[in-house]
Every structure is written in structure tokens, then in C-alpha cells.
Amino acid sequence: MDQTKLVSLVAVLALAACATAPSPERSGIADEQVLATLRASFHKKGQADLDRLQQDDVQKLCSEYRDGKPPADVARNIQDSQIETIKYPADGRYLGDWKAGEKVAQSGVGKQYSDDPSVVAGGNCYACHELTKHEIAYGTIGPSLYHFGRDRGFTLSMEKYVYGKVYNSEAYLACTNMPRFGHMGILTEQQIKDVVALLMDPKSPVNQ
């Protein structure tokens, strides 16, 4: 590879995580070259294994649309396929303990190479959402969740929707930035129930 192409490849890799990253077609670098360089430079560390470089079908499809906005028919196919993956609680109950859910939402521990894999992972929800008016700082990648249940109604159907959205967000919005917490095994069933309670329990600080 000549110097010009090498510099271009490095630039593509550096921007790989950004929504504005140049496509291989525009940069002159093929997907195969990018993946080969990633595989050659990524090494197992802690719980971060090489399987993290393998995209599933949804991730591969969404990667084809670098603005995160697939055509309507593609988006519908993704959502239809992903809604089938949601495993709802066998007991038919979606509401857990909002206090436990608050701990899940405020915890960013889990799945990083430096984390202890035996420690239960958190949801890191505050990194993308506003949850209460008492938070000092929160992310704005996702919408504010303040007054979530209060504004939408404390109904069983809404509880089920929230459970499904946390379990696999791709079932409701194709190519979303939100992790598929249940589908990818990040959160347990009970943890998801607790997060549902944080958003849907009238006593939760989210709804005060």
C-alpha cells in the first residue's frame, strides 16, 4: 500500500466510530481493508475478546447506511425481525423495583476490558438520557426520560413497551444508537424489570 492510501486508511479507522466517517467508497478504501487492519491491530484484553469485531446481521445492515437512516422498507424489516427476539417475562410482570432500577441506570460498570466480568453490569442510562431534575450531569444523545410514565400513562401496555424497548431497541427504531440490553445479554431480566419500574412507577423520582 502506498503512503497516500496508508494515510487515508488510518483516517478512516480513526473516524470509524463517528457518524460522519467517510464511506469506503468515498475514501477509496475497501471494507475488507478496514476490517483486516482492525483484526490485525485488536488483541484480546480482559473480557474484551476478538468476537467483538464480528457484527451480527442487524449491525452489518445498519453499517451500510452511515447516516443511521435506512430506507423505510429496510427499517421495517429490521424492526420486524428484531421484535421476534424479545423474550418477555414468563410471569407476565414487567415492573420491578425502581430503587434497584436507579442503581442500574446510574452504573456504567460492565463489559469493558478493565471491568471484573463477575460484577453485574449496569445500564449507564444517564450517559444518554436525563432521568430526574436532580442530576448534576447527563447525556443528550437520547431523549429526556423525565416524567416518562407520568406523561405516557401508568398502563400495562406501556410497561410492556418499555420492557421491549430496553430488551431490544432495534425492534422499535432501526439502527438506533441505543444498546440492545437484553438481546446482547448486558442486563438480566430482573434488571430490565427494575429499569421499567424506574420509568413507570409513580413513586419513582423520574415521575416526581
Mean of pLDDT values over 104-123: 93
Which residues neighbour 114 within 8 Å (Cβ) at sequence distance 6 or greater? 46
**Taking a C-beta distance cutoff of 8 angstroms, is the pair 165, 175 a contact?**
no
pLDDT (0 to 100) of residue 103: 97
Q: Which CB contacts under 8 angstroms, 24+ apart, belong to 101-108?
A: 101/191, 101/193, 101/194, 101/195, 101/196, 101/197, 101/198, 101/199, 101/204, 102/131, 102/198, 102/204, 102/205, 103/194, 104/187, 104/191, 104/194, 104/195, 104/198, 105/131, 105/195, 105/198
- The percent of residues in the chain predicted with pLDDT above 90, rounded, is 67
Mean of pLDDT values over 82-103: 98
Q: Which three cell numbers stand for residue 11?
A: 483516517
pLDDT (0 to 100) of residue 27: 58
**196 to 109, 158, 172: CA distances (angstroms):** 19, 10, 16
Mean of pLDDT values over 176-195: 97
pLDDT above 50: residue 2: no
- Helix and strand numbers, DSSP H then E, in the chain: 9, 0
Residue burial 12-47, b: 16+ Cβ < 10 Å; e: rest = bbeeeeeeebeebeebebeeebbeebeeeeeeeeee
Q: What is the DSSP letter of 175?
A: T
pLDDT (0 to 100) of residue 49: 87
pLDDT (0 to 100) of residue 38: 79
pLDDT above 90: residue 199: yes
Q: Which amino acid is at 115?
A: D
Mean of pLDDT values over 177-198: 97
How do residues 40-65 score in pLDDT, each as one tens digit? 888 888 888 888 888 999 999 999 99
Helix (H, G, I), strand (E, B) or coil at 199: helix
How do residues 7-39 score in pLDDT, each as one tens digit? 343 343 343 334 444 444 555 688 788 878 878
pTM: 0.82
Mean of pLDDT values over 70-89: 97
